[in-house]
Amino acid sequence: MSSQYVYEPLGPNSIRLLSIVPGFPSETIKCSLDIVDDITNAQVYDAVSGIWGTELSDEPIMCNGQRMAVTKNLIEAMKYLRPLPPWTSVLTWRTDHPLHSSRNVWKNFATNRREEQNRSSSQQRRALWIKAICINQNNKVEKGNQVKLTQKIFANAGVVKIWLGEANDSYSVSSTRLRIVQETNTPLVIRKSSFHFDQYGRMPIVLTFIAQALRNVEAGDDYWTAGRSATDTVYRNRVHGFPDASFEEWKIIRWFFTKMWFQHIWVIQEVVLAQRAVVILGDWHIEWAAVGIAAAWFKGHGFALPTVVKFIGDMKDLLPVSRAATMWELCTTLGKRRPLLQMLRELRGRKATLEVDKVYAAYNLAEETANTKRLDPLIEPTYDKPFEEVYQNLARFLVIDHGNLAVLSHAGGFEGVKSVCASWVPDWSQDKASAELINNDHDDSPYNADNNEYLTIGGSLDPKCLSVKGIKVPSGVIRAYGDKLFSYGFRHTTYKEEHDFIRSSWKLVADWVRKQDSPEIANESLRMYRSENIPRTFISTLTGGFSDIKRPVHEDPSFLDDAAWWLKQEFNDQIPTSGIAPKRSNWTTMWNSSDSGRFHETFARVCLHRRFFVTTENLMGIGPETMKKGDMVVILFGGKVPYVVRQVSQARYLFIGECYVPGLMTGEAVEQWKKSGGKAEFFHLV
């Protein structure tokens, strides 16, 4: 994409800015690159956020007088980003044009660049910063240095222009004008009889839906229409001013939110750091704030596709808005920066061209990398190392810098999928099989398996090895487990796979209820493993010990009621419920008031891609899908949850993943170890 005749060397604080000559869509792109010696002294410029791809265009551009090959996506964007000529031959819209913003509900947040000739010829006169052109992509050293400047580049830009692609709209100016009905004391109401979705192309529909969501935000949730169950989608849509789920318009808004830009990783920091951001789709310019607020509203009111579980079936009015909503939430976070491990988790499922960018993209949003002039050598951005080494160095940095093993909760893969990374290193290039048991600040962990024992790191000549001190759980050898959980829905639908997962899991512990606390049951001193408490301990295991509102299960009686009711609905009396819910005088009232979806949704999220297991001395737990019989549960000092490991040689272990085991989550094993006078050992994770 670059040429040796186009690029001159850059200083450590220098950037290049791009100027595009005005032109018509059919004309060759002509542009120039100018070096700014110090970014802090740069003229006012705009930065462009986009996904440029790798497929080269047959049509080159002229840059600094040289022919230069660029990708198809980039040349498409440049044709819309360059100014139109300031001549009367440019066709513009009069104010009576049916899509002119002054005549429509999107007038406060969206315009078309053809609405005013003066505007169309002047609004894009500023110099631009476009990563794909302004950085010499063939110079790895320059790329590494420019990554560290990205924060300043986007934070100092006058406007960040988000390029989504061409609108590809067609419409007839003679068609009946798009209208939205305004009814007294209610939000805007989109009427099927008011328009046909294909009269003006897709963008007017997108803008109308965004406008409707924004009006709903203004109206709040206290108006007369907000009280009925989310399961009544017909009523819900009518309440919020949207058409029925069967209407084709939902496919159009889904088309908008599935644009590749929403899925990419680098764009997060680019929009979060922006002073102001504008979404560009063809000739349409939309305020990013409007898109973000609308996405967050859709997500908060039951219109978002589930993100934790795989959803199959008719999407209807479910929208892929979660990624856009998360981006907006990051934009509105005070201080912007978050812990690096949290940012890595937030960005993990997004796309990147290079594996190393899956972690580098998080740096400019992380607390640990606020001082880019003095980054730890372990996390210095570089493009001349294999990505597995970059990931390994990052994981080691997080262990050392934080003084804990929280990063291990992000390690572990899918069954049958090999990773080139060491077993204890999260492979950020792949999705995580299951949600982490610890996914927030490690200091606020709800678990304390290590009983606050300090992390101790041992020495090793193997750079791929992490040596940490801990103890084996005497009763922690895995003797049996069930199939991993697949889930395809959420809350209101129970799938066969979920039903089978619960049934097979219960079969592993059913005999424990009938043993009347015989000596064969380990941990008799733990009340949770007494026979009468096995059903409740079973529920605690399936939910990681917490209800849907993050309360400990034993402190949320209504959640236990919900769990008991769900089991009764699904299994009749095959799984006992008497030991789950607190005793009530009126069971009928309890059943009628229960919301079984609370338990169902929680267990599906926690157990997704995990297995239920039992140990040789009858502990129960949930653990990684890649576990095998004979693996062992261990406590590693500095880790707030137990872990499953597999011994491969003396003192050398494969790290399998984190696990939840009732009776080990609050330091019980460590207390027992201290009382017995045993010795800790080093586990060399490879």
Q: What is the DSSP string of 362-385?
A: HHTTBGGGS-GGG--GGG---SSS
Cβ-proximal residues to 593 (8 Å cutoff; 6+ apart), any chain: 561
What confidence score (pLDDT) does residue 184 get?
A: 39
What confidence score (pLDDT) does residue 32 get?
A: 95
The CA angle 409-686-440, to the nearest 5 degrees, is 10
Mean pLDDT split into 10-residue runs, the chain, 686 residues: 73 94 91 94 94 92 93 95 84 87 93 71 74 93 90 94 87 42 44 52 93 92 48 79 89 94 92 95 96 96 75 78 92 80 89 92 88 85 93 96 95 84 94 81 79 93 93 95 81 81 95 66 66 92 93 90 89 85 54 67 91 96 97 97 96 96 95 91 96
What confidence score (pLDDT) does residue 436 get?
A: 92
Q: Which amino acid is at 462?
A: D
Q: Where are the beta strands (DSSP E) in 269-364?
A: 277-281, 284-287
Residue 680 C-alpha from the chain's centroid? 38
Supply 587's token pair: 């069971």
Please classify residue 580 by burial: count the beta carbons closer than 10 Å to its beta carbon, then call 0-12 exposed, 13-18 middle and 19+ buried: buried
Question: What pTM value is reported for the model?
Answer: 0.84
The C-alpha atoms of residue 294 and residue 321 are separated, in whole angstroms, by: 9
| 645 and 686 Cβ atoms separated by less than 8 Å | no
The C-alpha atoms of residue 449 and residue 476 are separated, in whole angstroms, by: 14
What confidence score (pLDDT) does residue 443 get?
A: 56
The C-alpha atoms of residue 275 and residue 190 are separated, in whole angstroms, by: 33
- Contacts of range 599-602, beta carbons closer than 8 Å, 24 or more positions apart: 599/539, 599/543, 599/548, 599/559, 599/562, 599/563, 599/566, 600/491, 600/494, 600/498, 600/566, 601/490, 601/491, 601/548, 602/543, 602/546, 602/547, 602/548
What confidence score (pLDDT) does residue 519 get?
A: 44
Which residues share a beta bridge with 35? 16
Q: Where are the beta strands (DSSP E) in 175-293?
A: 181-182, 188-189, 277-281, 284-287
